Each structure stands twice: as structure tokens, then as C-alpha cells.
């Protein structure tokens, strides 16, 4: 199968390995959280529940009830796709409750937000905004602390020194080091590595002006405040440090009073933004007893640490969730269950199958299934007690049928006149052995995570039940490309770029349209439709028609050279078309037949009526038949051949006949082309060199010169070095 399809299915299943971590509310409610990054737990500064989470109503404080309920209702009106859209602005509501982080005992606020889904994990996340992009955006918007707990793996550190906050000696000091900086508009933009931090801090202590500050951001998180008495260095490593730093900054610069957290302060400086968030697996920092743990082992080490304290364990989670197969509509396979007041839910016996839908239902504007209102279908008798019963009126999702229809075709139930018993199987073993698995399957890639993944699941289930003895339903899958409009956009009525096939068929014929669809683009890529391009395939079919039905104006005596040339071209074309069909290269197969048409048109006068010409005509019709079934059937009949062209054996090619008897050999002298000669295709090296030296053109260049060596590239060229 194409790698792209397999990757899409893998992501759809969404296997994630990580840890299940036990948080509790302040009221001791257990809140299980699944995370693939337990190594970031010390950076969890808030929790987010899906609006549908069962604890939302219980945890919400009375003063927050109205806002929370309103948000829950609005989230219910959005689809999962809308809620997970990357460009959607983050929204959420604080419940008023707090959760306790099991690794450090911190009380963190519990919010609800629609970007968290009940269909993934437990419907609750620990938000680590320094290392998750969605959490970062959410925390920035709502003023939650963002504490980095994983070190950068690129070792980058930045520092922005504000205009007027330093004396000139700082620049002189930097010039004496390998620390990189730029000065723009009186500010310094410094970039350094971790090993240079101590040197840089020493320069700042000496050269920052009183009541000024700067910070180090990235692979080092420090704030440097120049007080009147001393320079204070505050590590940015906790929620408590976040509060201290923000407080200092507000005192020194009242314009920062609207910033609630350190990250808000930093985010206002564009120079820092590429270092504020990352999701790499670096070493653990600011993480209590596990600080310094290598990024290579951080997840496993943290998981083991959680297990030892009974607050977490290793876990596997899947994005995939249960498939609801019932639909409240008329079309679809009936569900063979009845409801009896005495016996409850009763499956129908084999003898009552299949359940057939009535064909006289009345579709209701209410949106409900019309089967509910069809008395003849709804009311029946219980197969168990014979009492009154009602049928199930839901029908199955149509994907249920398409997931295993290739097996249903092999069902013994389709054998006319045979009774169905409880011993029957869904598939006939003999038919299954002959027809399955499917050799080749074609379809659009848009089915990758629906029909195509479902049919794999069904096959694996049937394998586990012992019904089939293989793992995959189709051995080979090919996805076709999309035909675009002439504006290079996907065809749609709203764009007005739809090409109507019926109109084209009326104008050019069905075979022309088929041929052009295969000719104008590669099967797997597709491409833009060209209304002018379809005329080429039409001309080709016209030529094929005339070559079969119109005799040559004058017929010359066939010559052996022309016969060999046409025969060679026929066998070459059969080989190319055969190989191209097998590789789904239909465009090049059509091109090969067009080349054969050109050769035949050129040789018609000299070969018309000969055995070689007749073979060429018949072969062309046979290889063209899958592409243009109607015209080839008609012409095959006009030749007086037995019906049908589509039941004839596929023509075979002879490799010896297809081989080119002569090749062109390029002759170079000191690397420059001086002549080209025709030689037999199988010529050996000594004979090729001799032929080259016999060339009159080459002899003129060699007159009076010494040949130092001769280089021969088989079948291509000879280079004579003089």
C-alpha cells in the first residue's frame, strides 16, 4: 500500500505511549490524566477538563455555575474538527476549583476548554504551557504561569538589554569575548551559549545601570536586577519566582503593570519569541528531585518515579474510539433484532433472513426514520414466543457493508434455491480460496481513514475468528489523483469549474473521454483538465478507424526492411503497454500506442494488406481495447474476427524482435563529438573501435596524430584520446 495511506491510518489509530497520572481535586476527587510527557509534570501550572467531563458539574463552584454551563452548551454545538482546529482562538472558563499536582503538591486551577476532547485520553489534561503549543496559547491569553521544565537541546540563550540600561563598558567587555551581539537603536541583542553565561553575568553586574534589569532566556532562565546596593540574580524556575520577578518589574517600570506573568513580559519582546516554547526531549530542569535527568531517559525515569509513589503508571492510549454503527434513516442494512415485551431483545433466526426494507415508505420532514411509521415493517411477531413484537428501525451505517462486501459476494446465501441454516458461514470456503484476498484495489485516498481502514479491521477480525487465513483484505492499493478544473482548482459547482462528462461524451464519444482521462495525467497525481487536449485522443481514434476501414490509395510491394521496422515497433509497443498497465502508467501506455499509430501511418502504403500489416492492426486493437472498448469492439467485428475483442488472449511480445537491430554510436575525439555511426546493437568493443577508426571524418582528425588510448562506453560512445 502507499506509504501515505499507511501513515494516515497509523495516525488515525493514534497509539500514544506515556503515563496515567493521578491528580486529585481539593475535595479529593480522583482525576486521571494521560500524558505522553510525564517528564514535564513539574511544569503543570493548570488543568483543563473537556466540557463534557463528568466532574465538571461537581467541581464547579456556585459562583461560576452560570458561566460554566453557558460554555458547556456552546461547546456542544461544535464538532471535534472545529474544536481541534489549529487556527481557532483558544477559549475557556475557570471552574473555581483546584487540583493538586502529585509531584510537588501545588494547587493548580481547573479550567474547562473545548480544545480538550472526551474522545482522547480521559478528557482531562495537565497543562504544561512551556512545552505544549496549545497550552502555551491558552496560558498566555488567560494569564497562567508558564514555567520551563525541559532544557533546550540547541543550547541557545538570548538577552535583550534595553536602551539606557547599561554603560558603554558593557560593549567593550562583550568585544573582549566570543559572545555575539548586535546594537540597534541603543539596545543590545545578545546571543550566547550556556558556557558563556557566567562571563556574561559578570559583565552585567559591572555595567547595568541602577534600577535597570535584563534577562537570560532559552537554555538559561535568569533575571538580573541592578539594585542600588547590589545586583540581584533571580532564577526563573517556579511559580513563586514568577510572582517575585513580575513584582520587581512592576516597581521598576510601571508600564509593565498589565503583565500578569513572566512569559507575558517576555512575549512582548519579539526578539525572545522563538525561545519561549519548545517540545523537544531535553534534560529535565526545575523539576525537584529529577532535575538533571537526561532527556533520553526522562520519560521512563519519571514514570518509574510515579509508580514507586503510587501516583501514576505506564499507559498506552489510542486516539481511535468506538464506532457507532446505527443510523436513524431508511437506507442502510436493517439491524435484525426485534423487541418483545416478554422476551426482551431477540435476534432473528437465520430462517428469517434477510430482513428486507419496504419500498413504500413515506419520508417525513421530522428527520426521523420513516421505518418508525411503517406499520407493515414495524410490527412483527417474536421468533421466540410468537407474541407481538416490534422491529429495530435503525439501520446500519453504510460503511458496515463496504467494509466486507468483497466477502459478501462470496456468500453461499446467494446460491438460488439453497436453504440458509444456522450452520452456514458468511463466506463460501471454496469461493474464498479462489478469489481472496483482493489482488488489486483502486480508490481515492480520502477513504484512507474510513472505508479502507474499516475493511482492514473487518479482515483481521475474520482472521481471528478463523474465517480467513490471511491478514490483509487487499494485496495492492492504488490511489487515483484528482481531476482539477482548468483553473487548477478542485472541481466544484460553487467555483463553476465543473466539466460535465455527458456533454463531452456527446461531443467526442465515450472512448475519447476515457482515453483522455488516462492520457492527460499520471494516474496517482491527476491534474488540471484541458478542454483543448481532448482533441488529441479524438484524432488518434479517428486515425485508428481509418487505418482499419480505409484501404491505402496505392499499395507498393512490401519490402523486408519496412516489414521488420513495423514488426519491431509492434512488439516494442506490446511490451511497453503491458508493463505500463501493470504499473498504472496509463498515460505512457497511450503515448506508446500513438507512436505505433505514427509508424503505421507512415508505412501504410508499403505494407497495407500484408501479413505484417494485418498483425499490426489486430494487435493495436487488442492493446487499445481496455482503453477504448467500444470502437475496438466495432472494428474487431468489421475485421470479421470472433466476438469479442475483450475475450481474446492478450498479445505477447518477442524480445528478439523488439530489440533495435542497429544503434547510433557517438564518436568523440578528446571529449568532443566528431561523428556518429550506425552499428549493430550487439557489437563488441574491438569491433566498435575498429568501426570508429574507419570513419572518414575521424580519420581526418587523426591524420599525423598519436592515439594514446580509446575509451568505450557499450552501446553509447567511443572517446579517442590523441
With helix as H, strand as E and coil as C, how does 254-316 read?
HHHCCCCCHHHHHHCCHHHHHHCCCCCCCCECCCHHHCCCCCCCHHHHHHHHHHHCCCEEEEE
DSSP state of 438: B
Mean pLDDT over each residue of the chain, to the nearest integer: 92
Section 509-525 average pLDDT: 92
Nearest Cα to Cα of residue 41 among 321, 263, 286: 286
pLDDT band of residue 704 (cuts 50, 70, 90) is: confident
**Mean pLDDT value across residues 485-489:** 84
What is the mean pLDDT of the segment spanning 2-22?
A: 93
Mean pLDDT of 517-540: 90
Model pTM above 0.85: no
Q: What is the pLDDT of residue 321?
A: 76
**Predicted confidence (pLDDT) per residue in 592-612, tens digit:** 999 999 999 999 988 998 999
The percent of the chain in helix, strand and coil, each rounded to the nearest 5, is: 40, 20, 40
Cβ–Cβ under 8 Å, residues 691 and 679? yes
Q: Can you say whether the dihedral through the CA atoms of 442, 447, 453, 458 is positive or negative?
A: negative
Rg of the Cα atoms in the chain: 39
pLDDT digit string, tens, across residues 257-276: 999 999 999 999 999 999 99
**Are the C-beta atoms of 592 and 643 separated by less than 8 Å?**
no
Is residue 416 pLDDT above 80, yes or no? Answer: no
Q: In the chain, count H helices and then E strands.
A: 25, 27
Give the C-alpha separation, 466 to 474, whole Å.
18
Amino acid at each position: 500500500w502507499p506509504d501515505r495511506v499507511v501513515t494516515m491510518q497509523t495516525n488515525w489509530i493514534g497509539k500514544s505511549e506515556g503515563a496515567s497520572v493521578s491528580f486529585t481535586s481539593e475535595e479529593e476527587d480522583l482525576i486521571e490524566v494521560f500524558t505522553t510527557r510525564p517528564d514535564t509534570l513539574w511544569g503543570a501550572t493548570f488543568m483543563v477538563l473537556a466540557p463534557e467531563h463528568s466532574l465538571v458539574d461537581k467541581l464547579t463552584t456556585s459562583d461560576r455555575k452560570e458561566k460554566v454551563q453557558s460554555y458547556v452548551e456552546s461547546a456542544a454545538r461544535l464538532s471535534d474538527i472545529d474544536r481541534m482546529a489549529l487556527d481557532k482562538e483558544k477559549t475557556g472558563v475557570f471552574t473555581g476549583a483546584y487540583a493538586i499536582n502529585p509531584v510537588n503538591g501545588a494547587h493548580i486551577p481547573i479550567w474547562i476548554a473545548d480544545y480538550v476532547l472526551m474522545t482522547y485520553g480521559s478528557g482531562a489534561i495537565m497543562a504544561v504551557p512551556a512545552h505544549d503549543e496549545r497550552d502555551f496559547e491558552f496560558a498566555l491569553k488567560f494569564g497562567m504561569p508558564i514555567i520551563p521544565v525541559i532544557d533546550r537541546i540547541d543550547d541557545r540563550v538570548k538577552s535583550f538589554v534595553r536602551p539606557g540600561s547599561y554603560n558603554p563598558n558593557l560593549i567593550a567587555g562583550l568585544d573582549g569575548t566570543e559572545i555575539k551581539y548586535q546594537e540597534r537603536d541603543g539596545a543590545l541583542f545578545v546571543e550566547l551559549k550556556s558556557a558563556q553565561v557566567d562571563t556574561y553575568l559578570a559583565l552585567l553586574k559591572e555595567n547595568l545601570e541602577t534600577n535597570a534589569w535584563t534577562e537570560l532566556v532559552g537554555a538559561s532562565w535568569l533575571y538580573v536586577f541592578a539594585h542600588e546596593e547590589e545586583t540581584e540574580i533571580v532564577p526563573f524556575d517556579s511559580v513563586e519566582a514568577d510572582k517575585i520577578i513580575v513584582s520587581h518589574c512592576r516597581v521598576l517600570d510601571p508600564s509593565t503593570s498589565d503583565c500578569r506573568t513572566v512569559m507575558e513580559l517576555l512575549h512582548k519582546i519579539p526578539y525572545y519569541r522563538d525561545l519561549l516554547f519548545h517540545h523537544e526531549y531535553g534534560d529535565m530542569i526545575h523539576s525537584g528531585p529529577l532535575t538533571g535527568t537526561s532527556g533520553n531517559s526522562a520519560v521512563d525515569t519519571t514514570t518509574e518515579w510515579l509508580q514507586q509513589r503510587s501516583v501514576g503508571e505506564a499507559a498506552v492510549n489510542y486516539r481511535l474510539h468506538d464506532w457507532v454503527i446505527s443510523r436513524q434513516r431508511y437506507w442502510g442494512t436493517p439491524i435484525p433484532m426485534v423487541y418483545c415485551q416478554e422476551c426482551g431483545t431477540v435476534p432473528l433466526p437465520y430462517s428469517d433472513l434477510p430482513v428486507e426494507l419496504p419500498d413504500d415508505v413515506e419520508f417525513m420532514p421530522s428527520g426521523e426514520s420513516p421505518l418508525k411509521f411503517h406499520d407493515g415493517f414495524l410490527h412483527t411477531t417474536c421468533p421466540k414466543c410468537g407474541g407481538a413484537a416490534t422491529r429495530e428501525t435503525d439501520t446500519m451505517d453504510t460503511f458496515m457493508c463496504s467494509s466486507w462486501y468483497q466477502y459478501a459476494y462470496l456468500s453461499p446465501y446467494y446460491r438460488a434455491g439453497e436453504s440458509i441454516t444456522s450452520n452456514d458461514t458468511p463466506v463460501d470456503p471454496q469461493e474464498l480460496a479462489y478469489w481472496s484476498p483482493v489482488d488489486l484495489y483502486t480508490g481515492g485516498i480520502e477513504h484512507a481513514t474510513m472505508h479502507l481502514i474499516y475493511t482492514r479491521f473487518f479482515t483481521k477480525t475474520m482472521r481471528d475468528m478463523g474465517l480467513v487465513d490471511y491478514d490483509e483484505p487487499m494485496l495492492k492499493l492504488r490511489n487515483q489523483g484528482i481531476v482539477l478544473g482548468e483553473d487548477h482548482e478542485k472541481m466544484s459547482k460553487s467555483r463553476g469549474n465543473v466539466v460535465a462528462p455527458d456533454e463531452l461524451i456527446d461531443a467526442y464519444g465515450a472512448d475519447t473521454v476515457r482515453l483522455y482521462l488516462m492520457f492527460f495525467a499520471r494516474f496517482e497525481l491527476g491534474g488540471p483538465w484541458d478542454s483543448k487536449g481532448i482533441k488529441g485522443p479524438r484524432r488518434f481514434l479517428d486515425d485508428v478507424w481509418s487505418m482499419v476501414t480505409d484501404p491505402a490509395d496505392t499499395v507498393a510491394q512490401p519490402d523486408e526492411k519496412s516489414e521488420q521496422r513495423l514488426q519491431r515497433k509492434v512488439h516494442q509497443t506490446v511490451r511497453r503497454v503491458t508493463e505500463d498497465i501493470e504499473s498504472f502508467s496509463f498515460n505512457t501506455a497511450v503515448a506508446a500506442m500513438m507512436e505505433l499509430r505514427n509508424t503505421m501511418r507512415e508505412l501504410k502504403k508499403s505494407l497495407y494488406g500484408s501479413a505484417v500489416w494485418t498483425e499490426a492492426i489486430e494487435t493495436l486493437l487488442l492493446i487499445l481495447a481496455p482503453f477504448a472498448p467500444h470502437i475496438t469492439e466495432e472494428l474487431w467485428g468489421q475485421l470479421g474476427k470472433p466476438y469479442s475483442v475483450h475475450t481474446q488472449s492478450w498479445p505477447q511480445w518477442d524480445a528478439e524482435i523488439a530489440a533495435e537491430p542497429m544503434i547510433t554510436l557517438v564518436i568523440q575525439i578528446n571529449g568532443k563529438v566528431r561523428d556518429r555511426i550506425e552499428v549493430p546493437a550487439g557489437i563488441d568493443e574491438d569491433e566498435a573501435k575498429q568501426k570508429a577508426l574507419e570513419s572518414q571524418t575521424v580519420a581526418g582528425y587523426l591524420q599525423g596524430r598519436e592515439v594514446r588510448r580509446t575509451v568505450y562506453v557499450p552501446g553509447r560512445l567511443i572517446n579517442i584520446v590523441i
